[in-house]
Amino acid sequence: LGSSGGGTLDTGFLPVSPNTADAVTVPAGHSSDVVIRWGDPVIPGGPAFDFENQSAAAQAVQYGFNCDLAVLFPMDDRDERFLLTVNHEYTTEPMMFRGYDSAAPTREQVEIAWAAHGMTVVELASRPSDGGLDPVMGSYNRRITATTPFELRGPAVGALTRTTADPTGTRVLGTLNNCAGGHTPWGTVLSGEENFNQYFGTTGSVTDPARVEALRRYGVSVGESGRKWERFDSRFDLAVEPHEVNRFGYVVEVDPWNPDSTPVKHSALGRFKHEGGTVHVTADGTVVIYSGDDERFDYLYKFISSRTIVPGRTPAAREQNMRILDEGTLYVATFTGNSPASEIDGSGALPSDGAFDGTGAWIPLLTVDSAGNAVSHVPGMSAEEVAVYTRMAGDAVGATKMDRPEDVEPSPTTGKVYMALTNNTRRTVGQVDEANPRHDNKHGQVVEITDDHAGTTFGWNLLLVCGDPAAADTYFGGFDKSKVSPISCPDNVAFDPAGGLWVSTDGNALGFNDGLYSVATEGPNRGETKLFLTVPVGAETCGPLVFSDRAIVNVQHPGEKDGSSIENPASHWPDGGTSQPRPSTVVAWKDGFTGGTGSLSGGS
């Protein structure tokens, strides 16, 4: 794997021991540092963070809460300068505000939460003294929040997306619960709106059975929401604005090179709890986007564009390429095992052919043609309905119910697609299949897919069945399980420039902190997991980016743990002492590395 040269971040490191330290831990011979924290200013003139005196106005120009996706583009015109784009998935008010009363949040607290959601674009500079990266108050810096205008495009636009404030159904305020994502070859960022259900509620009544069922399928409860946002803006009130909820749950595209640009929500890619959106480009320039729906028993999707890429990263090329996701076909996946069903008993024991594997098919749901006409492939549903109620379209065509499809990403070197299925403790013995072979699945699995990218068939196998390597129900690609790092709840997937796979975890059910692992996919070590980095207590390891010389992770929700409170937080990372925990972006590097032209290119 790793390439040669001093300071190169390769997979020859000595794995980190599983631990519960309230720290970021990296292997011997490596270092790490915080790049930017929740509340640090990102817009020139923005105020310094003051935990005890927060305001919505300050938060709107500061780094948001709970950083998740990270995308880094090198800046063409300046060596050792990079543009970082991150998602700020959600807020945890009881850990943000002293004296927070969940039954009666104040308007200021709610408006701070709106400003702490969304995304940040911030310029970074290599630190000359070591491998660190420091924020720069650059001209591209931008905050996108729950109130930033977006353009909603595609077949969802219509009667189901019109609201009182927006009779066109095309102009949406904000993006919410942006989880994983990806980047495009034309220099934009794709960001998945995930658990948007939690932001909507009502004390009024919603009685139409079809509407109640559609809300239920998306996990939206008819009743007061936990955050009570509907008290402060009626668009979050399901009884007052029935369609606002239909304007969230999309793949969002942001052009970080134009701070004045209006980001786009692409409804041709469907509406569900998009974990992300990652890109594979075929030889003829067709763009294929993969996206999982992170819910127990939900589906894997892909979109195949009918337009092809206009080369280059000029503003004109980007403008045209930002139309690529408007035209094409959306598919949902079925997985079929090749072993007899009687050999898949729910225990995790391998079937007699020695592998959880089989074939799959992509079932078309929705096509948008070059004239912009949308056609449904689902009997009984219009194109508009498929775009808005995509989960129900997947139900109707019999898609395979997976163990929470988290990040899914194609390898830049082999084209094989890797999907993290994080866990599913609700799967029963009667519900197992070869792709989801364990009941009460606490630890998840990683699927390797050999896809006919622009076609409709694929092969698949489980690369990892995660958990305690000493347990009989785990599988590490056939590698010697006594030599691997234990891994549980795989969530995010990334590739280094050499095509090496990296997987990070969320909610490790083995009793130690989450982390980032290298995973061998080829050769005699296939299935070997090596723990490279662990995050502090209660945190999730998000947005991993692994480059030839450095790795970046977003440390999300440090201190979020049962029994943790603002008076006695489970973590004091990163500021230490008695401080409150702050979600932050971290960079790690091999000791001796001090930057160099062309570094940080090629990661995904």
How many Å separate Cα 152 from the centre of its chain?
20
Judged by CB under 5 A, the number of residues near Ca ion is 13
406 binds ligand FEO (CB under 6 A): yes
Question: Which of ligand FEO, Ca ion, none interacts with 353 (beta carbon under 5 to 8 A by kind)?
Answer: Ca ion
Residue 89 beta carbon to ligand FEO: minimum distance, rounded to whole angstroms: 6
Count, in order, helices (H) and strands (E) of the chain.
Answer: 7, 32
Cα distance between residue 558 and residue 452, in whole Å: 40
CA angle 438, 483, 485 (to 5 degrees): 60
Strand partners, 303: 289, 330
Question: Which of ligand FEO, Ca ion, none interacts with 89 (beta carbon under 5 to 8 A by kind)?
Answer: ligand FEO
Which pair of tokens denotes residue 338?
């090749």
- Per CB under 5 A, contacts with Ca ion among 148-207 are 179
Query: Considering beta carbons, is residue 241 or 406 the nearer one to Ca ion?
Result: 406
Residue 489 beta carbon to ligand FEO: minimum distance, rounded to whole angstroms: 10
The 491-510 contact track toward Ca ion, x by CB under 5 A, reads x-xx----------------
- Per CB under 6 A, contacts with ligand FEO among 153-182 are 179
Contact at 8 Å (CB) between 88 and 64?
yes
Query: Considering beta carbons, is residue 153 or 391 the nearer one to ligand FEO?
Result: 391
Residue 588 beta carbon to ligand FEO: minimum distance, rounded to whole angstroms: 22
Residue 217 beta carbon to ligand FEO: minimum distance, rounded to whole angstroms: 17
403 binds ligand FEO (CB under 6 A): no
Residue 38 beta carbon to ligand FEO: minimum distance, rounded to whole angstroms: 17
Burial of 382 (0-12, 13-18, 19+ CB in 10 A): middle
CA-wise closest residue to 286 among 236, 240, 238, 324: 324
Cα distance between residue 353 and residue 340, in whole Å: 10
Query: Considering beta carbons, is residue 155 or 292 the nearer one to ligand FEO?
Result: 292
Contact at 8 Å (CB) between 150 and 191?
no
3-state secondary structure (DSSP) of residue 558: coil
Query: Considering beta carbons, is residue 244 or 293 the nearer one to ligand FEO?
Result: 293
Question: Which of ligand FEO, Ca ion, none interacts with 194 (beta carbon under 5 to 8 A by kind)?
Answer: ligand FEO
Question: Which of Ca ion, ligand FEO, none interacts with 355 (beta carbon under 5 to 8 A by kind)?
Answer: Ca ion
Query: Considering beta carbons, is residue 62 or 423 the nearer one to Ca ion?
Result: 423
Query: Considering beta carbons, is residue 374 or 420 the nearer one to ligand FEO?
Result: 420
Residue type, 316: A
Question: Which of ligand FEO, Ca ion, none interacts with 357 (beta carbon under 5 to 8 A by kind)?
Answer: Ca ion
Which pair of tokens denotes residue 378?
């689902």
Residue type, 48: A
The CB-side HSE value for 216 (13 A sphere, CA atoms) comes to 8
Beta strands 149-153 and 264-266, pairing class: parallel
Query: Considering beta carbons, is residue 253 or 294 the nearer one to ligand FEO?
Result: 294
Residue 67 beta carbon to Ca ion: minimum distance, rounded to whole angstroms: 12
Query: Considering beta carbons, is residue 131 or 276 the nearer one to Ca ion?
Result: 276
Contact at 8 Å (CB) between 495 and 408?
no
275 binds ligand FEO (CB under 6 A): yes
Residue 491 beta carbon to ligand FEO: minimum distance, rounded to whole angstroms: 6
CA angle 183, 188, 193 (to 5 degrees): 70
Taken as a whole, the chain contains a residue count of: 604
- Per CB under 6 A, contacts with ligand FEO among 276-295 are 294
Among 22, 40, 89, 237, which residue sits at the site for ligand FEO (rule: CB under 6 A)?
89
**DSSP characters for 334-401?**
EEEESS-GGG--SB-PPPTTSS-EEEEEEEEEEEE-TTS-EEE-STT--HHHHHHSHHHHHHHTT---
Query: Considering beta carbons, is residue 15 or 490 the nearer one to ligand FEO?
Result: 490
Judged by CB under 6 A, the number of residues near ligand FEO is 6
Cα distance between residue 355 and residue 340, in whole Å: 12
Cα distance between residue 24 and residue 574, in whole Å: 9
355 binds Ca ion (CB under 5 A): yes
Q: Cα separations (Å) of 116 from 61, 145, 525, 566, 585? A: 9, 7, 42, 18, 15
Query: Considering beta carbons, is residue 339 or 423 the nearer one to ligand FEO?
Result: 423
- Per CB under 5 A, contacts with Ca ion among 379-418 are 406-407, 409
Bond into 135 cis (ω within 30) = no
Stretch that binds Ca ion, among 107-115, 200-208, 347-355, 590-598 (CB under 5 A): 347-355
- Per CB under 6 A, contacts with ligand FEO among 292-311 are 294
193 binds ligand FEO (CB under 6 A): no
Question: Which of ligand FEO, Ca ion, none interacts with 123 (beta carbon under 5 to 8 A by kind)?
Answer: none
Residue 264 beta carbon to ligand FEO: minimum distance, rounded to whole angstroms: 21
Among 282, 338, 413, 456, which residue sits at the site for Ca ion (rule: CB under 5 A)?
338
Residue 275 beta carbon to ligand FEO: minimum distance, rounded to whole angstroms: 5
Beta strands 133-136 and 149-153, pairing class: unpaired
Residue 474 beta carbon to Ca ion: minimum distance, rounded to whole angstroms: 17
Cα distance between residue 303 and residue 305, in whole Å: 6
Among 76, 134, 213, 353, which residue sits at the site for Ca ion (rule: CB under 5 A)?
353
Cα distance between residue 547 and residue 9, in whole Å: 7
Q: Which residues contribute to the site for Ca ion (CB under 5 A)?
A: 179, 338-339, 351, 353, 355, 357, 406-407, 409, 491, 493-494
Q: Which residues contribute to the site for ligand FEO (CB under 6 A)?
A: 89, 179, 194, 275, 294, 406
